Amino acid sequence: MQEPLLEQTKKNASVGKEDAEVCKRIAEEGIMEFKIKIEDLSFGAGNAEQESEILEKAFVETAEFKDILTGRFNVVIGNKGAGKSALYDALIRARKPNVFIVPISSMTGTVEYERIFNRENLAEMDTDNFREYWKRYIALRTAYAIKNYQAKGEASSEFDELETEFEKMGFSKTLMIKAGMIAPEISEETFRMLLEIIRDATVDYSKLLSLTDRLAKKWGIQIWFVMDRLDEIVISNSSAQKKAVEALFVTLKDLSVYKNLKPIIFLREDIYNNLEYAHVDHFHSVTRNIRWDREQLLLMLVKRILSLSEINSEEIEQDSAEDTFFKVFENKIPNSRAGNCFDWMCNHLMDGRDITLPRDLILLANKSRDDQASKKYNVSTGEIISGKAIVKAHTNVAEIKLKDTERIYPEIKELIPSFSNELVKEEYGWIKRKSFQELFKDRDEKEIENIIKRLIDSGFIRPENRTNPLSSPRFEIPYVYKTALGIKSTGRKAQHKAE
């Protein structure tokens, strides 16, 4: 018999006072006592741009976030839906001694650098053109932020020079404002002025960067300029987008001479992996990859549940998180031997790289709630959402995920219909290496290998041999894509054993 949660909490010496109080309230009163009805239950949008309020209550402080705060990393990469923007939002709200954080991309609306490039003839722009624009934009945003920051009221010749430079650009003398350690958002009017200045080649942008760096050193601070939404640069032109991102990395290397200016950029993993910038390997040691484990994913959902209640979910013990989850979700999946419905949800959303994305899990939770509210499935043990609702919702979520995958990896979109045939269905989603020749009869061996690589990289297939994936004798389509394609998984184990 499982030990009562409250007793576990008392015995756990590592649990803080606040944690213990949270666990006590959950154990004694139960989540149902907080009167969460299914019509009020929400897990959020799963999109940081649309849920700043819920993130303040339900943000999970992962190892990645703590690592970013150390200042050791300049690049944060993750799949679309992995929570990059949530980390970005948390970072620009963070308070770190002697660090002045300057967000130079907004969370909503058209991203600023998209507006920088949209007037240019993109087909004629090369890496050096993009590189110059990046330098100008970063120089203007960081310099403008530092000129509105006051440290101990110190006057300095560098600051006077900076003010003079901005006066030349048409800005009036700025009243010094203490802005804490986060640069305030700039107005639309200010951004439009900066946008015009960016096209002025007579401005000494190197001088702006130098003055900003010297001021930061004099005031004993570091300036972290933070960038997100880089996948939204010139969406209409993938070639130009690639050049723009590669040019940004060149620019970051150029700016490394300014020791008090530190970039932190958030970038989709597939874009990072496809960069052809010759020195991108210089960034590998300062790149942090976002990965969520089971416990973090569970905590994320539970914090979102608790954000609707009076419970302070700032910190919560893992045992209490599981206890709370199973007060909302029935721990039973129809026609499944899965012993834990949360594990079933994670496994059935996992792609071929063994990645379960927070956004997919949030979507499944919301769709399950919607289906339960609509169909009113019986839940005999008192939970709010039945296992049947989870299974029904999974089909819809799987279809959405497949479409998202096709959008993110357009190079595999034309390949996917080939896996809806009887050959793949008869093998329950398993594909032998030699079967690819039957699926793509008009392709030679080199092209087949390239197809397999693209499918592995996108997570659409999982190689049986993880050490040498391209040489794997067999590949499996993950549950989530099998569901979207109408491929049954029943019989896979028996078939696998017979091989």
Q: What is the pLDDT along the chain (499 residues), one digit of tens a residue?
A: 333 323 333 333 333 344 344 444 544 544 444 457 888 888 887 666 667 677 777 888 888 999 999 999 999 999 999 999 899 989 988 888 889 999 998 877 778 887 888 766 777 888 899 999 999 999 999 998 888 775 545 667 888 888 888 888 887 665 444 444 566 677 788 888 888 888 888 889 999 999 999 999 988 899 999 999 998 887 777 888 899 999 999 999 999 999 999 999 999 999 999 888 888 888 989 999 999 999 999 999 998 888 866 555 554 555 588 888 998 999 989 888 877 899 999 999 999 999 999 999 999 999 999 999 999 999 877 889 999 999 999 999 999 999 999 999 999 999 999 999 898 999 999 999 999 999 999 999 999 999 999 999 999 999 999 999 999 999 999 999 999 999 998 754 444 433 4
Same domain, 428 and 445: yes
Task: Give, in order, the Cα–Cα distances in Å from 397 to each of 247, 345, 494.
Answer: 36, 11, 28
Residue at a domain's end among 245, 261, 289: 289
* Residue 131, pLDDT score: 93
Same domain, 200 and 332: no
Work out the angle at residue 137's Cα, subtended by the Cα atoms of residues 107 and 286, and round it to the nearest 5 degrees: 70
Same domain, 366 and 471: no
Tell me how far apart the alpha carbons of residues 424 and 48 are, in angstroms, rounded to a whole number.
37
Task: Indicate the helix (H) or strand (E) that contains 25.
Answer: helix 17-29
Task: Give, in order, the Cα–Cα distances in Å from 29 to each of 25, 102, 337, 385.
Answer: 6, 43, 31, 20
Q: Residue 139 falls within a domain, yes or no?
A: yes
**Local structure of residue 329 (DSSP, 8 states):** B
Q: Residue 50 falls within a domain, yes or no?
A: no
Q: Residue 276 falls within a domain, yes or no?
A: yes
The backbone torsions φ and ψ at residue 301, rounded to the nearest 5 degrees and listed phi first, read -65, -40
Give the count of domains, the chain. Answer: 3
Using a 10 angstrom Cβ sphere, with 0-12 exposed, 13-18 middle and 19 or more buried, the burial of residue 224 is buried
CA proximity to 458, closest of 276, 269, 277, 291: 269
* Residue 185, pLDDT score: 73
Tell me how far apart the alpha carbons of residues 249 and 240 are, in angstroms, rounded to a whole number.
14
Q: Residue 54 falls within a domain, yes or no?
A: no
Same domain, 132 and 209: yes
Same domain, 318 and 416: no
Same domain, 79 and 197: yes
Residue at a domain's end among 268, 289, 310: 289
Using a 10 angstrom Cβ sphere, with 0-12 exposed, 13-18 middle and 19 or more buried, the burial of residue 207 is middle
The encoded tokens of residue 255 equal 């700016």
Q: Three-state SS for 267?
A: strand
Q: Residue 398 falls within a domain, yes or no?
A: yes
Same domain, 393 and 421: no
CA proximity to 452, closest of 422, 427, 474: 474
Same domain, 476 and 493: yes
Same domain, 122 and 201: yes
Q: Are 292 and 83 in contact (CB under 8 A)?
A: yes
Same domain, 366 and 467: no
Strands (E), 203-334: 222-227, 261-268, 287-289
Q: Three-state SS for 380?
A: coil
* Residue 159, pLDDT score: 83
Residue at a domain's end among 360, 386, 408: 408
Amino acid occupying residue 382: G
Q: Are 301 and 325 in contact (CB under 8 A)?
A: yes
Q: What is the CATH number of the domain that holds 439?
A: 1.10.10
Q: What DSSP string runs through 137-196?
A: HHHHHHHHHHHT--STT---HHHHHHHHHHHHTTPPPPPP---TTBPPPPPHHHHHHHHH
Calculate the CA 278 to chain-centre distance. 26
Q: Residue 90 falls within a domain, yes or no?
A: yes
**Local structure of residue 438 (DSSP, 8 states):** H
**Local structure of residue 409 (DSSP, 8 states):** -
Same domain, 370 and 392: yes
Q: Residue 55 falls within a domain, yes or no?
A: no
The domain of 219 spans 63-289
Calculate the CA 93 to chain-centre distance. 17
Same domain, 141 and 242: yes
Q: Residue 46 falls within a domain, yes or no?
A: no
